[in-house]
Every structure is written in structure tokens, then in C-alpha cells.
A and B are shown apart, each in its own frame.
Chain A
């Protein structure tokens, strides 16, 4: 009756987390080496959140994401090839080079896009949840957003409406302690964003966002509640991004100390999960090495694919501004 992570689930979460980590590390290198245009916001450090939530979802459950969205696409089942191609701005990318990092999406797996506007995805996920209830499905919608977005009006309006209509929505606040370069204590007078849930009439819980199993259990309860028609949940995951707001080294601003980053890395979500998997005899160190190797190889091939993919033809510039009835 309670949610227990089976071996299969643990392996699945682990796979997703390692895929995110490797995808992002390689993406960071591509950006720093000037291989891809634009700005990438990397998800490294927060892998347990996307993975612990996403293992509960199906393709017909929808999510909205943030400017830091690659991890959500990977965890929802996105393919490296189309993802890297999109970062390169190539024709084979998920958005045919129209969106790039900040708008990467895959509608077929219920991924309603990264979003360049902080808080922009929250009302959209609420709308998706509304549609799911309207169409009397058992599906859910999940919106990922940060502590910074919890100060946007869009969060408050969507939270209020989700609670009012008892929508199957899970609001996942990835509290990484920073709104861009501004520390949380300089942008809100509270520490637990989950405290805001009470103001809208929904449950709010805090969970260790570095612990995939903790996220899995809490998200499982929230998703189950939503599927049963019991309404939305605000799930706050305390986490941390290892890299800068943009890119790896970013602008080199001294808004946080190396000690702080190191302190969080002591509780690295992947290392912690792997040590438990080894302790429980679910994986061996050797098998873990092989998993990393296999995924690294995937990434390498996907990057080669993206490199070779053609650039979009300028003659297609105006395609898809509007839907044209066939």
C-alpha cells in the first residue's frame, strides 16, 4: 500500500540519472568549446529530482519544464540524438532548430517544453491538468520550476486554480537555493517554498532532492493522489546545481563559494544511489562502470549525429509559425 522502490525502479532511476549527468557534461563541453550556439543551463546536481518524479509518469502524462530543461527531457525519455541536434540548431533536432536549449520539447512523450520564461510553464501545466480532468483521464501533469519561479505571479495563479479545480497537477519546486545569481534569502523571506501550499489549500511537502529514493517515494504519493482525483500537491525538493546559472563556469561571478559547492557534492545524488545499489547487491561496481561507459558511447554517437545533421534550410524559416490545415 505504500510506495516501495523495486529493483527495476531503482535501476531505471539510476539509468535516467546517469543519462542526464553524461548528457549535460557533454553539453557543457560543447558550449564551452563554442560548438553549439546560444546559452545552455545545465542540470548537473539535480538529477535525482527529474528521475525520481519521472519514473512515475507515462508518455501521456505531461510535464512542463524550465530554462534548465535538458534533464527533464532526458528523464522523460528524450533521445540524445535529437536533443544534441537541437542544441546544435540542426534540422534533425526535436524542434528542427527552431527552439534550441530553452524550448526543447518532445510532444510524443508528453514533454511540453523547456521554457525561457521563469515560471512560464506552470500555468501551462495547470492547463494540461485541466484538460486531463476535463477529458476524464487518469493522466497527470507535472510542472518543474525553481525557488525563483515561486515568486512569479504565474506560480500563484496556477497554484490557486489547480487547488480550486482539484486538478491532477504536481508542482515540483526544485529549490536549488538560487534564482539565477541571487541567493534564496535575498529573494524570498521563507526557506521552504512548500510552506506556500497551505495558502492555496493543497498539501506541501519537503523532500531531500539529492536522494532519488526519497524523491521517488514522495512523488509516488503525489502522483497517486493526483490520479485518484484528490488534487494537486506542492513537492519541494531541496537540491543544488553544480555548474553555473549558464554554462559550466558561466560568468565566473563569486556569488557562492567553492566550499559550498563541494559540500553539496559530498551528497551527490548519483554516487549516493550507486553506493546503495552496491550495498543491496543490485549492481556491482563493474556493472556501474559499464553503464556509464555505454551511456558515454551513446552520447558520443549522438554528438556525431548532431554534427553531421544538416542545418535547417533558410527557405523553411517561416514554416510552423501557423498550423496550416492540410
Chain B
């Protein structure tokens, strides 16, 4: 926490999440001649989310490369190029498209190094977009991080803030392992302090974003902001919640989580993904394994219901977890 807050304090400049992504990628392209960006509509269109805008003009079509709509091909390109000396940044426009390239991700990218007895090194970074809230319906709104965290060999990060988005992209691209950077589409306009120049946010290190004494809310990606709002509201009910932004799901900073729960004795896990079989189940299991005796209440979980993401705004709003649900679930759990 210290290093992040220190850097944040130094940064006076505010930047939107979308522009922080651009800056992260730009820093990487500047420092790594073997890095390039490849994906659908990344060059001419600057990504459908706009976060590569200006990079084609700055780095040229050899380093910012539009691909056909061929996710198997794109992912294969990233794997093959990484295994033979490049440091590709692959753009998977929507995380939902993982289904189109799951063999490349699960069977090739994640396992190549291990299967080859450590003789392969795959410095490939995949940027991909997750999350609901824009009425993009069931195939363009999912949060599928659990598909990825289940695969030994991959690292998975999910920045919640502009600062972390830039820093984690830089860390991911400097890492010699395949790293998925899961971005969030509803956070694109979110503003926050972002320093100029290159800096890293360490992969595998959670951020205690708000300190508290009698509840730990563990969240990542956009749910961090819902958790912070919930923490404010819970104060009125006498609960002083600590909020942990995981930032990195794999590797997972279990130490920070456990230390916090040992202090607060209560844990509430929040993610946007479907609750059943979600990453929260793993978190809950680890907490009870490592801090069972410290728990004063059952571990709570807030996630989406067991349903595809709906289209209609009214349905989608009731589908997505938010501060209100976190507060309600916390009060139910603690009995206040």
C-alpha cells in the first residue's frame, strides 16, 4: 500500500482510465523495440474503446497491427512471436471472445513453458475488456476471470484505477510470463491520478485501499469502487470496513488478505462475475483455510446471479452487484 499511495500522492495529473491504458502501452512500445500491439481494430480505429488512439500515428503500422477477426490466429500470433523473441501485446477486444481462442490460451500459452521443461519463455501480454453495464448483452459483458485463474501458467491482473491500469500494463509487459490484463469497460471514463513516465504496479500485490477495523471487503476491478461506496454507507451502521483491491488474481496476495481478516475478523468478497463458481469461492476457501479461528462471522460473497448478462437496462441494473447490495448482504451476514 505504501508504495502505491506514495506514487499517487506525487502525481498531480489526473487521467481517465482509457487514457491511462494508452499511456501504459505507449511507454512499453517506447522502451521495448520487440513489443508490438496486434488485435482487431487496434490500428486504424485505435480500438473500439479508443485506448490505442494515436499509437498507429506514433509507432506506425509495423508495430500497431490490425488483424482479421480471428481470435485463434491472433492468440497464436502472440504465442509464436513471444516464443521466438518478440514481446507482443495482444488485444482481445471483448473477454467474451475467449471462447474463440481458448485452446490457444489454455492448452498452448498457459502450458508451453511447463510442457517444454522450462525451455520456453512467453513474454506476451493480453489486454481484454470485461464487465457489464452498457446493454451489450450476454456475449459482450461477461467477467470470465475464473476461466483464466484456473490455468497454471497464466498471470491475471484486473486494474480498478487509472493508476493501476497504466502500472499493471507496464509490469505485465515487462514480465516474461503470459499476463492477462482484464480491463473494465464501465471504468473507461473514470478519472484518477496518473504520473507521467513509466512506473510499475507489482503483479501479485494487493492494495489496501481503505483501512478499517471490523470488516474486510475484498474486491477487484470496478467492484472496488462499489466496495468503497459501501464502506462509506456501512459507517453509518457502525461498521468500519477495510477495502482490499486485489489488483492481481494470479498470483494472489493471500498474505494481505489473511492479515486483514485476522485484524477485522469478518470478510466480504465482491466480484461482478456470476457468484456460483466464481473467483470468490477460491478466496472464501483460502480465508477459512488460513484464518478460520479468527472469523467472527461467515464469509460473505456478493456476485452476479446465475444468469447470462441481460440486455435491458432495468434487468442489467438489477443483475450487476453494487454498493447497495454489498451493504445489504453485509448487514444480513452480521445481523445488524
Do A and B touch (CB < 8 Å)?
Answer: yes
- A125 on the interface (CB 8 Å rule)? yes
Q: Which residue of B lies closest to A64 (CB)?
A: B80
- B152 on the interface (CB 8 Å rule)? yes
Q: Tell whether, in the assembled complex, residue A105 and residue B77 are in contact, meaning their CB atoms are under 8 Å apart.
A: no
* Cross-chain contact of B77 among A112, A130, A320 (Cβ < 8 A): A130
Return the CB mask of A237-265 against B: 1 if under 8 Å, else 0.
Answer: 00000000000000000000000000000
Nearest chain B CB to A93 CB, angstrom units? 7
With A and B bound together, what is the CA distance between A75 and B176 in angstroms? 30
With A and B bound together, what is the CA distance between A211 and B73 in angstroms? 32
Nearest chain B CB to A138 CB, angstrom units? 14
Q: B82 — which chain A residues lie within 8 A by C-beta?
A: 127
Nearest chain A CB to B39 CB, angstrom units? 12
Question: Do A135 and B72 form a contact, CB below 8 Å, given A117-B107, A128-B81?
Answer: no
- A94 on the interface (CB 8 Å rule)? yes
With A and B bound together, what is the CA distance between A62 and B83 in angstroms? 10
**CB within 8 Å of B: which of A77-112?**
93-99, 103, 105-108, 112
Q: Tell whether, in the assembled complex, residue B84 and residue A128 are in contact, meaning their CB atoms are under 8 Å apart.
A: yes
Q: Which residue of A lies closest to B104 (CB)?
A: A123
Nearest chain A CB to B69 CB, angstrom units? 9
Q: A124 — which chain B residues lie within 8 A by C-beta?
A: 76, 79-80, 83, 108
Nearest chain A CB to B191 CB, angstrom units? 33
Q: Tell whether, in the assembled complex, residue A126 and residue B76 are in contact, meaning their CB atoms are under 8 Å apart.
A: yes
- B265 on the interface (CB 8 Å rule)? no
Count of interface residues, chain B, beta-carbon cutoff 8 Å: 42
With A and B bound together, what is the CA distance between A98 and B112 in angstroms? 10
With A and B bound together, what is the CA distance between A98 and B111 in angstroms? 10
Q: Which residue of A lies closest to B67 (CB)?
A: A161
* Cross-chain contact of A127 among B78, B113, B120 (Cβ < 8 A): B78
Q: Which residue of A lies closest to B69 (CB)?
A: A157
Q: Which residue of B lies closest to A62 (CB)?
A: B84
With A and B bound together, what is the CA distance between A1 and B108 in angstroms? 40
With A and B bound together, what is the CA distance between A10 and B81 in angstroms? 33
Nearest chain B CB to A102 CB, angstrom units? 8
Q: A319 — which chain B residues lie within 8 A by C-beta?
A: 118
* Cross-chain contact of B86 among A99, A131, A323 (Cβ < 8 A): A131
Q: Tell whether, in the assembled complex, residue B115 and residue A103 are in contact, meaning their CB atoms are under 8 Å apart.
A: yes
Q: Tell whether, in the assembled complex, residue B68 and residue A131 are in contact, meaning their CB atoms are under 8 Å apart.
A: no
Q: A199 — which chain B residues lie within 8 A by C-beta?
A: none
- A129 on the interface (CB 8 Å rule)? yes
Q: B36 — which chain A residues lie within 8 A by C-beta?
A: 134
Question: Do A113 and B73 form a contact, CB below 8 Å, given A128-B80, A323-B176?
Answer: no
Nearest chain A CB to B250 CB, angstrom units? 10
Q: Which residue of B lies closest to A133 (CB)?
A: B62
Q: B75 — which chain A residues lie within 8 A by C-beta?
A: 123
Q: How many A-B residue pairs have CB under 8 A?
A: 150
Q: B73 — which chain A residues lie within 8 A by C-beta?
A: 123, 126, 154, 157-158, 160-161
Q: Tell whether, in the assembled complex, residue A120 and residue B81 are in contact, meaning their CB atoms are under 8 Å apart.
A: no
**CB within 8 Å of B: which of A124-150?**
124-132, 134-135, 141
Q: Tell whether, in the assembled complex, residue A123 and residue B121 are in contact, meaning their CB atoms are under 8 Å apart.
A: no
**CB within 8 Å of A: which of B112-139?**
112-122
Nearest chain B CB to A171 CB, angstrom units? 13
- B318 on the interface (CB 8 Å rule)? no
Q: Which residue of B lies closest to A99 (CB)?
A: B115
Question: Do A320 and B117 form a contact, CB below 8 Å, given A120-B103, A154-B72?
Answer: yes
Nearest chain A CB to B156 CB, angstrom units? 12
Q: A93 — which chain B residues lie within 8 A by C-beta?
A: 117
Q: B80 — which chain A residues lie within 8 A by C-beta?
A: 62, 64, 112, 123-131, 141
With A and B bound together, what is the CA distance between A146 and B82 in angstroms? 25
Nearest chain A CB to B253 CB, angstrom units? 16
Q: B86 — which chain A residues lie within 8 A by C-beta?
A: 130-131, 134-135
- B222 on the interface (CB 8 Å rule)? no
Q: Tell whether, in the assembled complex, residue A96 and residue B118 are in contact, meaning their CB atoms are under 8 Å apart.
A: yes
Q: A130 — which chain B residues lie within 8 A by C-beta?
A: 77, 80-81, 86
* Cross-chain contact of A123 among B68, B76, B114 (Cβ < 8 A): B76
Q: Tell whether, in the assembled complex, residue A132 and residue B84 are in contact, meaning their CB atoms are under 8 Å apart.
A: yes
Q: A201 — which chain B residues lie within 8 A by C-beta?
A: none
Q: Tell whether, in the assembled complex, residue A160 and residue B114 are in contact, meaning their CB atoms are under 8 Å apart.
A: no
Nearest chain A CB to B232 CB, angstrom units? 38
* Cross-chain contact of B119 among A64, A95, A128, A154 (Cβ < 8 A): A95
- A321 on the interface (CB 8 Å rule)? yes
Q: Tell whether, in the assembled complex, residue A105 and residue B120 are in contact, meaning their CB atoms are under 8 Å apart.
A: yes
Nearest chain A CB to B116 CB, angstrom units? 5
* Cross-chain contact of A98 among B62, B68, B108, B116 (Cβ < 8 A): B116
- B85 on the interface (CB 8 Å rule)? yes
Return the CB mask of A173-184 against B: 1 if under 8 Å, else 0.
Answer: 000000000000
Q: Tell whether, in the assembled complex, residue B68 and residue A160 are in contact, meaning their CB atoms are under 8 Å apart.
A: yes
With A and B bound together, what is the CA distance between A129 and B67 in angstroms? 15
- B155 on the interface (CB 8 Å rule)? yes
| Chain A to chain B contacts (Cβ below 8 Å), 6 pairs | A95-B117, A95-B119, A98-B114, A125-B80, A322-B155, A322-B177
Beyond A126-B80, A135-B85, 18 additional contacts (C-beta under 8 Å) are A98-B115, A98-B116, A98-B118, A99-B116, A105-B115, A113-B116, A120-B104, A120-B108, A123-B77, A127-B78, A127-B80, A127-B81, A127-B83, A129-B80, A134-B34, A141-B84, A153-B72, A154-B73
